[in-house]
Amino acid sequence: MSSVHQKQNTCVGSWLVIALLVSLGESASGLLCRQCFSLYGWDECEETARDIRCTTQGVTSSHLNLLHQNPSLAVGNHSEFSCFKYQARINRYNDRGLVTGYGRGCTFAVTDFCTGWKQAVAIKQCDVCSDRDLCNSGRLSVGSVYLLVIISLMIVGKHHSILDLNRK
């Protein structure tokens, strides 16, 4: 094997290790979900949204605030998470009126977030996901963008190396 091919293999191997470390580092630190709530629509929800790393303490606190509407939500010391996105009609004023709530956030993976709601809450849309960071937002996560950039650089670098070899 020529020294040029050895350098190429070493460079490609280094990029693969970096890409793997970036993706492992992101998943090792917990799931990232979009969090927001609005009574006016998804646009307002998005205006106030933030990306949060799911934690046991954060999900337990969120679930405790929702237990009066959904007593089936888990609280406690769970360590696996999912993201949720829901839209619901909520009777908030003792039968004096319905409002629509729009929300996103973190939940425990052991919880079926979309079921168990009391009659005063009519779920219109509810999705739970955990396959990637920010899966409840429709956006790519920062780690996914880094990975795409690294792969693109590897392809461009390999293409330039091949062109250099063809010139010799």
Q: Are residues 65 and 143 in the same domain?
A: no
Domain hosting 146: range is 138-168
Instruction: Tell me, yes or no, whether 83 lies in a domain.
Output: yes
Q: Which residue has the higher pLDDT, 151 or 104?
A: 104
pTM for this prediction? 0.66
* Total Cβ atoms within 10 A of residue 107: 25
Q: Are residues 37 and 104 in the same domain?
A: yes
Q: Are residues 82 and 147 in the same domain?
A: no
Q: Are residues 84 and 117 in the same domain?
A: yes
pLDDT attached to residue 127 = 97
Give all strands of the β-sheet with 32-38 in edge-to-edge order: 50-53, 32-38, 98-108, 81-91, 121-129
Using alpha carbons, list the distances in angstroms from residue 148 to 16, 31, 145. Answer: 12, 19, 5
Contact criterion met (CB below 8 Å) for 151 and 122: no
Q: Are residues 94 and 147 in the same domain?
A: no
pLDDT band at 168 (very low <50, low <70, confident <90, very high): low
pLDDT band at 91 (very low <50, low <70, confident <90, very high): confident
Q: Are residues 62 and 99 in the same domain?
A: yes
Domain count, the chain: 2
Instruction: Tell me, yes or no, whether 47 lies in a domain.
Output: yes
